[in-house]
A and B are shown apart, each in its own frame.
Chain A
Amino acid sequence: KQEVTQIPAALSVPEGENLVLNCSFTDSAIYNLQWFRQDPGKGLTSLLLIQSSQREQTSGRLNASLDKSSGRSTLYIAASQPGDSATYLCAVSRTGNMLTFGGGTRLMVKP
């Protein structure tokens, strides 16, 4: 059974700092991995999707990497802003269908 772990569970940083969120998964036979953002009481916004054959994806200040063999992914956020404060979730899919989510990292960026 796939298990997804995110470390740290919570993170507080000053504005402008670069930061890295970590995601690990136990079964490396994945089809893809997605990073999501969730604001309190809201649904999920997809940030980046990495196919199993890819090593990284970039969107603006966000960069996600994938090391499938070691079961790890990182989400790098450059020059963090208070508006980046949210919970970040990673999720993996074995077949491209069902997603298994990690517990999330609650990020607070202080102005």
Chain B
Amino acid sequence: GAVVSQHPSRVICKSGTSVKIECRSLDFQATTMFWYRQFPKQSLMLMATSNEGSKATYEQGVEKDKFLINHASLTLSTLTVTSAHPEDSSFYICSARSHRSFEQYFGPGTRLTVT
């Protein structure tokens, strides 16, 4: 149980375009989802926390107009990178937490490359 999927696993896009990444909890309802960013050989940095049906809470330094997060249902959250630039290239990982447990379950990550 407690499986989280991400789609796509890899995406290459051109500078200036927008990319949407999906995060789904497959076998539980995720009241809270988290989006992390990881640069090569570095640890995960929390970007934002989203609760189902409400606006996401962004960490300091994360542009909310650039990284649009939508948590429209208890099993799906999306991260849209708008007007992507090469410096947005990174590994994006989501996690999900149910209301029954404080344990976070992580997705397999999405590798974004902006050319």
Contact = CB atoms under 8 A, between A and B. Distances in A.
Interface string A61-102: 000000000000000000000000000010101001111111
B44 interface: yes
Interface stretch (B72-80, B82-90, B106-114): B106-114
A99 B97 CA distance: 12
A99 B46 contact: yes
B34 A41 contact: no
Given A43-B93, A44-B93, A104-B43, A99 B108 contact: no
A31 to B, nearest CB: 7
B43 A101 contact: yes
Contacts of B102: 31-32, 93, 96-97
Interface residues of A, number: 23
Given A46-B103, A93-B102, A97-B102, A103 B42 contact: yes
Contact of B43 (A42, A97, A98, A103): A103
Nearest to B94: A43
Interface of B: 4, 6, 32, 34, 42-46, 49, 91, 93, 95, 97, 102-109, 111
Give 3 closest A-B pairs by Cβ, nearest first: A96-B102, A44-B106, A43-B108
